[in-house]
Amino acid sequence: MEPIQKIKILRLKDACNMFGISRSCFYKRIEIGIYPPPISLGDRAVGWVESELQTILRGLVSGKNHDVLKSIVCDLIEQRQLLI
């Protein structure tokens, strides 16, 4: 059996602070596919998996272009299905 990994969820303010951008810019980047979409935390609450955002941040720091970031986001979304 694999060890259980801690999953930390960030709310919008913390996610925006991680990248140093505004709320509208953050959502625009989700819309164009270079940031992962949020997960539902309830009826009116969403959050982002911190490790996914860190992966994107590392991609930005290393100079990955938008096409590569979109591919990384697709992979991250697929990996969500394997967490169960």
Global pTM value: 0.90
What would the pLDDT profile of 22-80 be if each residue is shown by its tens digit? 999 999 999 999 999 999 999 999 999 999 999 999 999 999 999 999 999 999 999 99
Domain ranges of the chain: 9-83
Q: What CA–CA distance (Å, rounded) separates 63 from 27?
A: 21
The fold adopted by the segment(s) 9-83 is Multidrug-efflux Transporter Regulator; Chain: A; Domain 2 (1.10.1660)
33, 70 Cβ separation under 8 angstroms: yes
